[in-house]
């Protein structure tokens, strides 16, 4: 229901461009809430079965007390448990009899919450995971679509910026401005906090934060904390901090996906002239400033592209001609290989094919 004067509502409703995002968040929120209610139902079944499960005597037959209290709903649940459609939390009788410690009771209840109604629970978990991916794709594609034509843009192969005088003389360009595609990407990234903050307190965006793509190890710690807190804290300050964590994790995931696509598109550019390198360095620097404003580091491959396009031909040739450093096998060496491949590709785009070829040969 719309409330007049609600600034948050007015800001969102006036921007029809984000209507699809709000729609997919509503779908995701419905599935996550349904999963929560399913788990509440499992807890109810657990309590009912634990409280009124058959207590067998030494002969293995149900006691008269239980027979007198059995009703139709309980009989239905017990039959479902026997058929495997409902997993009972009540273990088989053992030598210890019906007496159990409170710790084992808690463990048993926790295990039941994970296994009761297993097929329906699994279906809901998968549906909620798919809807989370839908929300992510909606945000990523909104931003990433502006990179689709990047590799085919003519500006990367120009000898100059195309600024001429009335006498057909090239005029010097002392500085370059970011191109429209990257400024639009920056605007959309900076708009993400506004739209995500509106839903950061909802269970949908808090759901399974650790499964968001492109998160690094430090993000995983934050995701675990935010997920455990569930924004159900006694302190308003703590709740606000958790909401900011949720928003930042989503922004980080989307931004890193955009950075990865940006690098892939750059590496598909057929040719880079000195002017094209300067323009590309300007565009990357603009994006770097946008990400820094949101406390997100530049992706290593993108930082490598920025470094190499800013180098002179001689400097870049020296890098790709240098033999690869030998080191211990592992993630660090694999990362160096990836960055070396980026440098070699930039050298090829700049016309340093012989140097790039020698660099590849020396690394083998």
pLDDT digits (tens, 9 = 90+) for 225-243: 565 554 343 444 445 667 7
pLDDT at 325: 61
Most confident stretch, 68-72, 126-130, 328-332: 126-130
Q: Which residue has the higher pLDDT, 303 or 167?
A: 303
**Residue 84 CA from chain centroid, whole number:** 36
- Find all residues with CB under 8 Å of 28, minimum gap 6, and list them: 128, 131, 132, 134, 135, 204, 207
Long-range contacts from 91-100, C-beta under 8 angstroms, 24+ separation: 93/56, 98/55
Please, what is the average pLDDT of the chain? 76
Query: What is residue 323's predicted lDDT score, i.e. its pLDDT?
Result: 66
Length of the chain: 364
For the residues 34-53, what does the mean pLDDT come to? Answer: 73
> Residue 99: pLDDT above 50?
no
Quote the pLDDT of residue 198: 86
Which residues touch 122 (CB under 8 Å, ≥6 apart)? Answer: none
Q: What is the pLDDT of residue 42?
A: 76
**pLDDT for residue 81:** 64
52 vs 168: CA distance, rounded Å: 94
Mean pLDDT lowest among 202-216, 300-314, 328-342: 328-342
pLDDT for 92 equals 42
Q: At 200, is the pLDDT very low, low, confident or very high (cuts 50, 70, 90)? A: confident
Q: Which residue has the higher pLDDT, 22 or 13?
A: 22
Of 59 and 266, more confident: 266
The model's confidence at residue 8, banded by pLDDT at 50, 70 and 90, is very low
Percent of the chain with pLDDT over 90: 43
Assign 330 a pLDDT band (cuts: 50, 70, 90). Answer: low
Is it the case that residue 72 has pLDDT exceeding 50? yes
Find which of 67-71, 295-299, 328-332, 349-353 is predicted with most confidence, using mean pLDDT: 295-299
pLDDT greater than 50 at residue 14:
no
Over residues 44-52, the mean pLDDT reads: 65
Angle of helix 72-82 relative to helix 19-52, nearest 10 degrees? 100
- Each residue of 39-54: b (16+ CB within 10 Å) or e? beebeebbeebeebbe
pLDDT tens sequence across 110-163: 444 455 677 788 889 999 999 999 999 999 999 999 999 999 999 999 987 655
Flag the least confident range among 37-46, 56-65, 107-116, 127-136. 107-116
Residue 94's pLDDT band, with cuts at 50, 70 and 90, is very low
42 vs 117: CA distance, rounded Å: 7
Q: Which residue has the higher pLDDT, 355 or 126?
A: 126
Q: How far is Cα 201 from Cα 240, in angstroms, rounded to an integer? A: 9
The pLDDT value recorded for residue 343 is 95
């Amino acid at each position: 229901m719309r409330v007049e004067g609600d600034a948050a509502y007015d800001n969102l409703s006036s921007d029809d461009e984000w209507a699809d995002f709000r729609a997919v968040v509503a779908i995701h929120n419905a599935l996550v809430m349904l999963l929560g209610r399913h788990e509440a139902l499992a807890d109810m079944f657990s309590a009912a079965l634990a409280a009124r499960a058959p207590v067998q005597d030494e002969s293995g037959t149900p006691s008269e007390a239980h027979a007198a209290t059995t009703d139709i709903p309980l009989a239905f649940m017990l039959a479902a448990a026997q058929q495997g459609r409902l997993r009972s939390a009540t273990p088989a009788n053992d030598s210890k009899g019906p007496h159990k410690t409170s710790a084992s009771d808690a463990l048993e209840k926790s295990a039941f919450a994970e296994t009761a109604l297993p097929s329906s629970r699994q279906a809901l978990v998968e549906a909620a995971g798919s809807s989370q991916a839908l929300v992510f794709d909606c945000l990523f594609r909104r931003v990433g679509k502006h990179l689709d034509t990047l590799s085919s843009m003519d500006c990367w192969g120009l000898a100059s910026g195309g600024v001429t005088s009335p006498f057909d003389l090239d005029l010097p360009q002392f500085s370059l401005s970011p191109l429209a595609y990257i400024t639009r990407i920056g605007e959309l990234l900076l708009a993400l906090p506004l739209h995500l903050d509106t839903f950061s307190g909802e269970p949908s965006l808090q759901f399974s934060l650790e499964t968001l793509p492109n998160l690094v190890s430090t993000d995983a710690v934050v995701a675990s904390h935010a997920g455990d807190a569930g924004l159900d804290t006694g302190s308003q300050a703590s709740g606000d901090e958790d909401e900011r964590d949720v928003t930042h994790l989503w922004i980080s995931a989307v931004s890193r996906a955009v950075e990865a696509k940006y690098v892939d598109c750059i590496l598909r550019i057929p040719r880079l002239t000195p002017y094209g390198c300067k323009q590309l360095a300007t565009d990357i620097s603009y994006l770097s400033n946008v990400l820094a404003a949101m406390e997100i580091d530049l992706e290593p491959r993108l930082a490598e592209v920025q470094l190499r396009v800013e180098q002179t031909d001689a400097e870049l040739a020296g890098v790709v001609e240098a033999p690869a450093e030998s080191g211990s096998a592992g993630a660090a060496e694999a990362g160096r290989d990836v960055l070396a491949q980026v440098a070699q590709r930039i050298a090829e785009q700049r016309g340093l094919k012989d140097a790039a070829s020698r660099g590849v040969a020396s690394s083998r």
